Amino acid sequence: MQALSERLSDLDAHVRGAIRVVAFYDTLMRRRVDLPALARSSAGLAVCVVGIRLHGTGSVTRTGPDGREAPGEPRTPSSTAPITLDEEEIGTVWLERPGPPNPLDEVLLDRLAIAAAAVVERYGPARTTMADPALVELAISAGSDEAARARALRLLGFPAGLPVHVVAVDSTLRLDEIGTLICPARPVKAAPLADVGVVLATAVEPTRFPDGVRAGIGSDGSTDRSWQQARTALRFTTARRPVVAFRDLGALALLAQVPEDVVRANADVAALTRVAGSPENLETLDAYCATGSLRRAAERLHLHHSSVARRLDQIGKTLGFALTEPAGLLRAHLALTSWRLLTGPGRPPTG
């Protein structure tokens, strides 16, 4: 680096300053400093308060140019930069410089962010959410033995003995965003597998799933069993019930074990397929099965109860039985659920 500096000595002061900043952080990284030491050194170089925040832990380090913790409330940053690890933003670094930014602040923050990511990775486990799909698959596979699954979980950053839920996700949103929302306290890891997203989390808050996500939640315990439960629960999700925990399914989970050819051959399911050709009728049947009441279904659909009654009468003629009878409501509910298991997300791969 010294030789390079000499060769570029004829360049302007900004370039020479940038090279010195790069050399400064190269030296810090070779010394394997931790985050507090990195913040102290950076504050001394910048001659202003330096801040480092990690999203995963919520920890914030603010250090003044004297090497001590900065007093008072954080000021509005004069400049910021994201800390990125494995293509995921895991934190932020910033400067609290009074007055206008220094011409070298951008270079300094860029190198500080790189150094902070290296420190987090070194002293981890890394607080990223996205994980190696092969390692996640090993952790949830029924084909792996218990020892292999335990080792995979340790490599993913889950301490031994800590309960882990597996969540099956169907969404176009980023899995790391979903993971950090449903398990903000960490640890949580995620990876896409073939046809579905997988999130492993020590705790899951079902109400924190964002709109547009369908998710099945497995129970804690053996991760291979939790994965199978999560896949099953995902199949029971609907637009009205986008998040389903396996433990809440009870005996309904047995329907997922019925072979598809048997389900398709059932007369009620075949008739339900004809009903599903009309989105209006399908929505009406869904509301009626969910509430068990004509009037409550009408309230949910924002329709007059007489309009819903006419629709249910027509649907009953298509299905071949009266929906207003208790047995008819049960048959319709089972047929609707079975039909969704054939058409919804999370179906096991075939072939």
Residues 240, 317 within the same domain:
no
Structure tokens at 260: 């598809």
Q: Per mean pLDDT, which range of 36-45, 152-161, 227-236 is the poorest? A: 152-161
Q: What is the CATH number of the domain that holds 325?
A: 1.10.10.2840
Structure tokens at 70: 């900065």
Spatial neighbors of 347 by CB under 8 A, at least 6 apart, are: 235, 341
Mean pLDDT of 285-313: 93
Residues 265, 312 within the same domain:
yes
Is the CB of residue 97 less than 8 Å from the CB of residue 70?
Answer: no
Specify if 348 maps to a domain.
no
State residue 123's pLDDT score.
65
Give the burial class of 265: count Cβ atoms within 10 A of its Cβ; 0-12 exposed, 13-18 middle, 19 or more buried.
exposed
pLDDT band at 5 (very low <50, low <70, confident <90, very high): low
Residues 271, 327 within the same domain:
yes
Last residue of a domain, one of 99, 123, 147: 123
Mean pLDDT of 182-192: 85
Residues 28, 111 within the same domain:
yes
State residue 2's pLDDT score.
53
Specify if 21 maps to a domain.
yes
d(CA 230, CA 166): 6
Specify if 350 maps to a domain.
no
Location of structure tokens 């900043």:
21
Specify if 158 maps to a domain.
yes
Single pTM value for the model = 0.66
Query: Does residue 351 surpass a pLDDT of 50?
Result: no
pLDDT band at 3 (very low <50, low <70, confident <90, very high): low
* Domain with 270 in it: 258-343
Residues 22, 115 within the same domain:
yes
Is the CB of residue 223 less than 8 Å from the CB of residue 202?
Answer: no
Estimate to the nearest angstrom the gap between the alpha carbon of 74 and the chain centroid: 30
Structure tokens at 27: 């030296």
Query: Does residue 11 surpass a pLDDT of 70?
Result: no
pLDDT band at 10 (very low <50, low <70, confident <90, very high): very low
Residues 12, 69 within the same domain:
yes
Residues 218, 268 within the same domain:
no
How does the average pLDDT of the chain come out, rounded?
Answer: 88
pLDDT band at 213 (very low <50, low <70, confident <90, very high): very high
- pLDDT tens digit string along 32-83? 888 889 999 999 999 999 999 887 666 789 999 999 999 888 888 999 999 9
Residues 7, 102 within the same domain:
yes
Domains contained in the chain, number: 3
Query: Does residue 1 surpass a pLDDT of 60?
Result: no
Give the strand order in the sheet containing 188-193: 188-193, 196-201, 165-170, 214-217, 243-245
Last residue of a domain, one of 69, 94, 123: 123
Last residue of a domain, one of 123, 158, 187: 123
Specify if 208 maps to a domain.
yes
Specify if 288 maps to a domain.
yes
Residues 66, 143 within the same domain:
no
Residues 137, 245 within the same domain:
yes
pLDDT band at 266 (very low <50, low <70, confident <90, very high): very high
Q: Which residues of 84-116 are buried (b: 16+ CB within 10 A; e: fewer)?
A: ebeebebbbbbbbbeeeebebbebbbbbbbbbb
Of residues 243 and 31, more confidently modeled: 243
Q: Per mean pLDDT, which range of 97-106, 156-165, 331-340 is the poorest? A: 156-165
Specify if 68 maps to a domain.
yes
Residues 201, 91 within the same domain:
no
Location of structure tokens 């007369």:
267
State residue 91's pLDDT score.
84
Mean pLDDT of 259-266: 95
Mean pLDDT of 82-104: 87
- pLDDT tens digit string along 268-283? 999 999 999 999 999 9
Residues 114, 21 within the same domain:
yes
Amino acid at 173: L
Structure tokens at 327: 């047995």
Query: Does residue 299 surpass a pLDDT of 80?
Result: yes
Q: Per mean pLDDT, which range of 114-123, 165-174, 207-216 is the poorest? A: 114-123
Residue percentage of the chain with pLDDT more than 90: 62
Task: Report residue 94: phi and psi, to 5°.
Answer: -155, 165
Specify if 23 maps to a domain.
yes
Query: Does residue 286 surpass a pLDDT of 90?
Result: yes
**Beta-carbon neighbour count of residue 76 at 10 Å?**
6
d(CA 333, CA 272): 10
Bridge-based pairing of strands 79-85 and 188-193 is unpaired
Q: What is the CATH number of the domain that holds 48?
A: 3.30.450
Biggest distance spanned by C-alpha atoms of the chain: 92
